[in-house]
Amino acid sequence: MSKPIISPSLLSANFLNLEADLEKINQSEADWLHIDIMDGVFVPNISFGFPVLKYVAEKCNKPLDVHLMIVQPEKFIKEVKDLGSMMMNVHYETCTHLHRVIQQIKDAGMKAGVTLNPATPVSLLKDIVADLDMVLLMSVNPGFGGQKFIPQTLNKLKECRELVDSTGSKALIQIDGGVNLETGKLLVDAGADVNALNRRGNSLRIHYDRFYSKASRALCAYFKDCGALIHPDSPDHKEHVEQVRKEAQQRAAAFAARRGILLQPVAEQPAAEEPAPAPQPVAEQPAAEE
């Protein structure tokens, strides 16, 4: 039986202590790390850019699930690939030549996903769904935090499930926004494969820095125990994710080793044979007379 995939969002992290939060994700049962990149153009907000994500990618040992809420996402295929990303997800609304962009993402060796805004109908994916590895349904409007889950998403999810299954597509279905214990159960029952978790809009109201450890453990356990879901079991997908996971673990190990090397010279300083001369007290200078 297939189990739902949990992909906690980096947006929920404490950016003043990103390393600690990433470690929590590394230790958690989360399957992927969801990364929302915003450009302040397609969505009215800016999140983080590639220089920050380079370090995130090195530290995180989970496959990266990159969601680009940006115009002209095709310009950044190389950057997303260079992070070692498993999935590159672009918005339907930003791609005039969606088929081409999907092929380019695949040619770069990544899984390709397409996201639909709440007002964009599922039926628009009819001619491309067979080529997709994931369809992401936004269950809030992208770019704002603290929004409520849009109930219509459930009907859309059922429609999407039908479309995916009837076309033999191997696409996973991901839901992004307002996923919590209450909506999560409904989503899993309606056939969601992947749930992006974000503390914003989280009705659990748990303390922020315990989100990944405590709440997401509870959610993960809940989703994983829930037998309601059957998603397309693609061996190809599993193999690819496993490969990406190994690479991510190697990156994280290399990152830790580099930090070790940087720290070592300081830790291994031999004790000085002669104590450094004590600083000479500075005689108080009388104030110069002018």
Catalytic residues: 36, 176
Question: Whose Cβ is closer to Zn ion: residue 37's or residue 228's?
Answer: 37
Question: Whose Cβ is closer to Zn ion: residue 21's or residue 36's?
Answer: 36
Total number of residues that touch Zn ion (CB under 5 A): 3
> What minimum distance in Å lies between the beta carbon of 141 and Zn ion?
12
Q: Among all residues, whose Cβ is closest to Zn ion?
A: 67
Among 31, 65, 133, 176, binds Zn ion (CB under 5 A): 176
Beta strands 172-176 and 194-197 are: parallel
Residues of span 35-54 touching Zn ion by CB under 5 A: 36
> What minimum distance in Å lies between the beta carbon of 19 and Zn ion?
22
Within 10 angstroms of residue 224's Cβ, the number of other Cβ atoms is 14
Name 63's Cβ contacts closer than 8 Å, sequence gap at least 6: 31, 32, 33, 85, 86, 87, 241, 244, 245, 248
> What minimum distance in Å lies between the beta carbon of 22 and Zn ion?
17
**For the stretch 258-287, what's the b/e string if a residue is b when 16 or more beta carbons lie within 10 angstroms of its beta carbon?**
eeeeeeeeeeeeeeeeeeeeeeeeeeeeee
> What minimum distance in Å lies between the beta carbon of 6 and Zn ion?
13
Question: Whose Cβ is closer to Zn ion: residue 95's or residue 228's?
Answer: 95
**For the stretch 42-55, what's the b/e string if a residue is b when 16 or more beta carbons lie within 10 angstroms of its beta carbon?**
bbeeebbeeeebee
Within 10 angstroms of residue 119's Cβ, the number of other Cβ atoms is 10
Question: Whose Cβ is closer to Zn ion: residue 141's or residue 167's?
Answer: 141
Residues of span 81-110 touching Zn ion by CB under 5 A: none
> What minimum distance in Å lies between the beta carbon of 279 and Zn ion?
56
User: Of the ranges 67-75, 126-134, 185-193, 282-290, which one interacts with Zn ion (CB under 5 A)?
Assistant: 67-75
User: Of the ranges 28-36, 167-175, 217-225, 254-262, which one interacts with Zn ion (CB under 5 A)?
Assistant: 28-36
User: Of the ranges 14-22, 63-71, 155-163, 213-221, which one interacts with Zn ion (CB under 5 A)?
Assistant: 63-71
> What minimum distance in Å lies between the beta carbon of 35 and Zn ion?
8
3-state SS class at 117: coil
Name 196's Cβ contacts closer than 8 Å, sequence gap at least 6: 7, 8, 9, 34, 65, 67, 136, 174, 175, 176, 177, 179
Among 24, 59, 67, 237, binds Zn ion (CB under 5 A): 67
Q: Compute the distance between CA of residue 248 and CA of residue 63 in angstroms, rounded to an integer.
A: 6
Q: Compute the distance between CA of residue 112 and CA of residue 88 in angstroms, rounded to an integer.
A: 5
58 lies in the site for Zn ion, by CB under 5 A: no
3-state SS class at 3: coil
Residues of span 112-131 touching Zn ion by CB under 5 A: none
Could you list the residues that contact Zn ion (CB under 5 A)? 36, 67, 176
